[in-house]
Structure 1
């Protein structure tokens, strides 16, 4: 959502007039909503909101859950037999995903625009949900529109695919949809080099020249508020969703050990957003319950404020297959906050490379307790002489949303 929103925000000033086709929020279902971001849509941008046909209302009734699942089931770390059954149904009967019920409504809206004589130079479809790419495929077939397929995540290689328990026919059909999209799109965008590599391997018909990497980024206007790290604690903040899949146990153990070694240093943790019960238990097992604050999901601008009121920042990459190309959108906002970044994830990954290039930190393999503890102790030593560990330099500016939208405009 952030990526598409920020493209739309900056396109008009760069000479491109966007029309947005999306779901009426009264008709769709989402794990969370942030109404404050509506203010970022430029006044002159036309937004068409359609009906949709999705199964999430039935899911909530049958599971008696108030919240629908995230795409990767990050909010369902421990699932019942009923929920596992729903995952199987989702993975085998709703392909590519349950959001496909929106497609006919979106296609109807575009057909109406074209029937009224409107002309468009290109259509951009952004996913996941990857069913949205089938809209672009159909528009390409019907009208010959130039089509940019924006793939924010892998498709059949996405980290939670194995949780869907797909049968062989379902895997074949899902892969066929993926291959059709990649072969027919005029331009394919990915957010990381490793995702580009994965997608290029899906068909011998694919030309590398049409695959381009435009990473996620940060919006400079979100960081106009000042950085005010606390003076009464060395505070490490994580924002967003985190579950047991992210394997932060060794990092938590290192934080606890560092706190014991330096009792005079008030070392604190803060999680803002969705934290699974399993991770909460890991925090308690490490003896960090008294040093840890848990805050619920907050509007985006408030989340940025928490970054700027921190000493250092924590991010983690899920310990799943093909995770070298996982680039969480938060990494770029973390960079813009100019705080030291502790990343739990594979060394040599795309995230690790970006952190090192910007001099903001590095990725620590999931089990590398010794390296994590050494880095934490270096932060403690610095903090004891300077309470503000904000980083110098401007290497992060290459990831500003405007600069990235300029790249998109060239491709359009």
Structure 2
């Protein structure tokens, strides 16, 4: 690689502003910090007029550094037909969290998606990206490496082809498991479809020069996919938080003990016993105004759980908001709530929001498996721990301890936590070291 110019990195990512949600954050924050670290990124993404995004967040465009080239391509995807035939205006979220009740037509589309669009329904984007890269090379462009970010995991097949055609140094960044993704059973894949999907996964893992994962357990899952794989090519590079997002001071309410959850939550997260403990805590301590706030997509089943526990009157339900507003809700909270879905292979699920929760320096209530990557991280940073889904008594005891503390001082903010190594800049520094 030439020392006369910055390293030139081609970043292939489907999710990019104006896409919102968790999927866009990782690539965006890498690109935000790369130029200052001596790397010149070129982003290849989908034309937003044709892309299929579950949510939009136009505010994120302000985070793209001036001078970074963003190339947007056409795509060929089935989501227009999905909307017409199902009558739904939203496309499915990952894990189908916005489809609590599915019609026969929606079930049919899941089957079609799982068996005709492998690895996923956004594979129609690939040919457009490959043509755009061919055009760049025909114009004399040079790149030192390519980073492909997924989901959608079909994006990794772009990296596979770029490696074959041009011999580019290839970093496959896999934010989630592939064939082990928790909602795979809902796709009703045939044996042939499962075989082909596993074959694509294995080819990517074997031929990528570097494989990035967001958690240690996800790395373990991928390492087990082929006897040819060596530990040395796998690197755990977790998600993180951007220090610039937390410039405003923390300002928890003195009027109520406010527990906030941000992001998508569905019935698979099994917070019903925690909600029961919240209701009991309110019954035992009526003098303490205990309130809940959910910011983002809340599945119908979770709304019903709130109703069943008599909590709707003390719960604020807000739709998806821009990222900076979401951070503001964290800083104005007393306690933060997160949950790990009760699904296979959930020990490696480490939501990106946990790092922003840590940056907010609030106590964190986590519902999920003990000993998981999320549980270990929270305990390591001194922010909390994971409570098993059935640990009703322990949850209630912890809630009562928070109530007792709140009576003395309504600001339960923690001392500065040991989380600076999870800043987006520090993580991008690790990425650059791998590029070099």
2:4 maps to what in 1? Answer: none
Which residue, out of 29, 41, 60, partners 1:37? 60
Query: Which residue is 2:260 aligned to?
Result: 237
Give per-residue Cα distances to partners, 1:181-201, cap 9 Å, x unaligned.
000000000000000000000
Find the counterpart in structure 2 of residue 105 from structure 1. Answer: 128
Matches within 5 A, 1:195-274: 195-274=218-297
* Deviation at residue 148 of structure 1 after TM alignment: 0.1
Indicate the SS of the match to 2:403: helix
Shift of 1:393: 2.5
Aligned to 1:330: 353
From 297, 305, 320, give the equivalent of 1:297. Answer: 320
Q: Identify the match of residue 20 of structure 1 among 40, 43, 59.
A: 43
**Partner-residue secondary structure (3-state), 2:29:** helix
| Cα deviation, residue 30, structure 1 | 1.1
SS in 1 for 2:182: coil
Mapped partners of 2:394, 2:109: distance in 1: 41
In structure 1, C-alpha distance between the alignment counterparts of 2:51 and 2:417, rounded to whole Å: 40
- Contact 2:294/2:318 (8 A) holds in 1: yes
Residue number in structure 2 paired with 1:173: 196
Aligned mates of 1:71, 1:379 — CA distance in 2: 33
1:282-306 CA-to-partner distances (Å, cap 9, x unmatched) read 0010111111010011000000000
Which position in structure 2 is the counterpart of 1:156?
179
Does residue 46 in structure 1 map to residue 60 in structure 2? no
For the pair 1:345 / 2:345, whether they are aligned, the reply is: no
Separation in 1, partners of 2:111, 2:289 = 46
Counterpart CA distance in 1 for 2:340 and 2:114 is 23
For structure 2, the 5+ residue unaligned runs are: 1-23
**1:77-135 CA deviation, whole Å, 9 max, x = no partner?**
22112111111111001000000000000111111111111111100000000000000
User: Secondary structure at the residue paired with 2:164?
Assistant: helix
Aligned position for 2:16: none
Question: What is the distance in 1 between the residues matched to 2:94 and 2:276?
Answer: 29
CA distance in 1, matches of 2:323, 2:230: 38
1:72 paired with 2:91, answer no
What is the Cα deviation at residue 29 of structure 1?
A: 1.7
The structure 2 residue matched to 1:55, chosen from 53, 59, 78, is 78
- The SS at the match of 1:147 is strand
Residues 1:114 and 2:114 aligned together: no
* Preserved CA contact (<8 Å) 2:290 2:314: yes
Count of residue pairs the alignment pairs up = 412
- Name the structure 2 match of 1:275: 298
| Offset from partner CA, 1:252-288 (integer Å, 9 cap, x none) | 0000011111110000000000001110010010111
Q: Which runs of 4+ in 1 moved over 4 A?
A: none
- Deviation string 1:309-351 (CA, Å, 9 cap, x unpaired) is 0000000111000000000110000000000000010000000
Structure 2 equivalent of residue 194 of structure 1: 217
Q: Which moved more, 1:78-87 or 1:263-272?
A: 78-87
Q: Which residue of 2 aligns with 1:398?
A: 421
- How far residue 234 of structure 1 moved from its aligned partner, in angstroms, is 0.1
For the 8 Å contact 2:358–2:417, the answer to whether it is kept is no
Unaligned runs of 5+ in 1: none
Which SS does the other structure have where 1:383 is aligned?
helix
Q: Does 1:368 align with 2:391?
A: yes
| TM, length-normalised to structure 2 | 0.94
TM-score, scaled relative to structure 1: 0.99
1:354-383 CA-to-partner distances (Å, cap 9, x unmatched) read 000000000011111011111111111111
Shift of 1:167: 0.5
Q: How far has the Cα of 1:71 moved from its partner? A: 2.2
